């Protein structure tokens, strides 16, 4: 049985197989659109706020 997923960019149904070199995307175009969104910081991974008392690597030089 082949898994079918939605392309994260356009929502098109995509077979999750090794033959699909762009998985989970449906195409190179959708893959590049998603990469561009990350580069433009449209996506954010939540994390803890930095502690002002912690030393940054740049402070050590």
pLDDT digits (tens, 9 = 90+) for 30-60: 999 999 999 998 988 888 887 777 665 555 5
Residue 26's alpha-carbon distances to 30, 52, 56, in angstroms, are 7, 43, 40
| Position 47 in a domain | no
Q: What share of residues in the chain are helix, strand, coil (percent, to 5)?
A: 25, 10, 65
| Position 50 in a domain | no
Residue list for the binding site: 7, 10, 26, 30
Q: Provide the domain limits for residue 33.
A: 4-39
Residue list for the binding site for Zn(2+): 7, 10, 26, 30
Identify the CATH number of the domain in which residue 26 sits: 3.30.50.10
Peptide bond into 52 cis (omega under 30): no
* pTM of the full structure: 0.67
Residues 6+ apart with CB under 8 A from 23: 5, 14, 16, 17
| Position 18 in a domain | yes
């Amino acid at each position: 049985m082949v898994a079918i997923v939605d392309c994260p960019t356009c929502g098109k149904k995509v077979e999750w197989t090794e033959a699909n070199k762009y998985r989970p995307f449906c195409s190179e175009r959708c893959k590049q659109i998603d990469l561009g969104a990350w580069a433009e910081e449209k996506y954010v991974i939540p994390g803890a706020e930095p502690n002002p008392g912690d030393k940054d690597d740049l402070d050590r030089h």
